Structure 1
Amino acid sequence: MPHLYNLHIIIAEDDTDDADVICETFSNNPNFGKVSLVANGEELLSYLKDSSNITPDVILTDINMPIVDGIEALQQILNTNDLKTIPCFVYSTSINPSYKEKCDLLGVKAYLIKPYSFEAFEEIPKSILAIIEQQYA
């Protein structure tokens, strides 16, 4: 990842209220030029496999979603040669240690706890940028 501006992030989030807030948060961050939203892991995988879509720079997924959950989607993404180099992040209301352990084993860059206030949501893009910057410095 040569630069940390004008990034394209795809977010998998099934809760419409959370989706609105997280999309607005990333849209308001000047480092992110494009925000794409899908409703579950199946839609995330379909988006990534569709060659007409531009490959995102970052993936952020919730865990608990219908059809295909975030961990199942990440297992496929991080085991696919063309996709496994995309920095993947999880955010969830769950503090279940087994979820975090699974994410760590998969190579997820960070397991972020979904905040309860709008102001705290604004920290998510900053955290993601800091982690990416640290790894590519």
Structure 2
Amino acid sequence: MKNGETVSIILIEDDDGHATLVERNLRRAGISNGFLRFADGQQALDYFFGDPPSGDAAGKYPPRQDLTNFVVLLDLKMPRVDGFEVLRRLKEAPQTAAVPVIVLTTTDDPREIERCYELGCNVYITKPVEYDAFIEAVRRLGFFLQVVKLPQGQRLAAS
């Protein structure tokens, strides 16, 4: 990003291998910003809408109010709470409605794509199944994230 602007990444992805590939290849594409990963939808919802963590979990994630200029990369097929529900909750809550959400999933069913856009996703990207194509898709996403413009000083709205 130009002029000191950075976009932080919140990755909500249950597959450890995919999460590693996404982060590694976004960094290779020039994204040097912060990464915050949740391994399922429930962890993400707890972070965005639950009580602040305490004890050992307190230092694992930055306080919500410290998040600025970030996008959410969201998988759909996850245990406990799926990506559709996470997307629905993020877009209907006033404090997170403006958060850009990029669905990044293996699902290419037109009905599911339509549903995501109806729920308010900003971009829908299908993860290619073939390894090299997956890497290339993530690399291109990295280039997009370097030029995307977010509202000045974007923060989570007060709960």
TM range (shorter): 0.7 to 0.9
Cα RMSD (Å) = 2.3
- Structure number with greater Rg is 2
> Distance between the aligned counterparts of 2:80 and 2:105, measured in 1?
17
Q: Which runs of 5 or more structure 1 residues have no equivalent in the other structure?
A: none
TM norm structure 1: 0.83
Alignment of 1:1-137 (within 5 A): 5-49=5-49, 50=52, 52-53=63-64, 54-55=66-67, 57-115=70-128, 116=130, 117=132, 118-128=135-145, 132-133=148-149
Structure 1 residue 121, shift from structure 2 partner? 2.0
If the length of structure 2 is used for normalisation, what is the TM-score? Answer: 0.72
Aligned mates of 1:95, 1:108 — CA distance in 2: 15
- CA spacing shift, 1:90–1:128, aligned 2, 3 Å: farther
| 1:4 shift after superposition | 8.1
1:37-58 Cα shifts (integer Å, max 9, x gaps): 1111111112223482333510
In the alignment, structure 2 segments of 5+ residues that lack a partner are 53-61, 152-159
Higher relative strand content: 1
Q: Tell me which of the two structures has the higher relative contact order, counting C-alpha pairs closer than 8 angstroms and 6 or more residues apart.
A: 2
> Number of aligned pairs?
132
